[in-house]
Amino acid sequence: MHALSIPTWIIHVSSVIEWIAAILLIWTYGEVKRDRTWWGLSFAMLPALVSAMCACTWHFFDNPASLEWLVTLQASMTVLGNITLCAAAWWIWRSAQKPERKNTTTRAAKDVTIDVS
C-alpha cells in the first residue's frame, strides 16, 4: 500500500467511484428515455472499470512481481474497453440518426404532388 502517496490513492479510488456512478447514471438515463442504446453504453463501460480495479489492486499490494498478470489484464481490459465504448458510441449515434431519415422521407413525400388527370 506504500507504492502510492495518499493524494494519488484518493485520485485512484475516487476515479473508480466516479466511474461506477457514471455507469449507474447512464443506465438510469436509458431507463428514463426507454432507449436500450444507453444501456449498451453502461455495459460497454465495464471493461474500463475492471481495468481501473486491476490497477488499484496491483498498487494496493505494493506492485509485487507475483501479481504482474494484473498489469497484462489491465492493459487488455483497457483495449477491450476502448473498443466497446467506441461501438456503444456508434450505436447511440446510429440510433439518433434514424428519426431524421424518417422525417426527411416523410417531408419529401408531402412535397411531391402527383397529377393524375
Q: For residue range 70-98, list pLDDT tens digits in order.
A: 999 999 999 999 999 999 999 999 999 97
Q: Which amino acid is at 3?
A: A
Distance from C-alpha of 57 to C-alpha of 74, rounded to nearest angstrom = 10
* C-alpha 89 chain-centroid distance: 8
Cα–Cα distance measured from residue 105 to residue 113, given in angstroms and rounded to the nearest whole number: 14
Q: What does the pLDDT read at residue 116?
A: 65
* Closest alpha carbon to 58 in 81, 37, 75: 75
Percent over 70 (pLDDT), the chain? 83
pLDDT for 26: 98
Residues 92 and 38 sit within 8 Å (Cβ to Cβ): yes
Render pLDDT for 25-62 as a digit per residue (tens, 0 to 9): 999 999 999 999 999 999 999 999 999 999 999 999 99
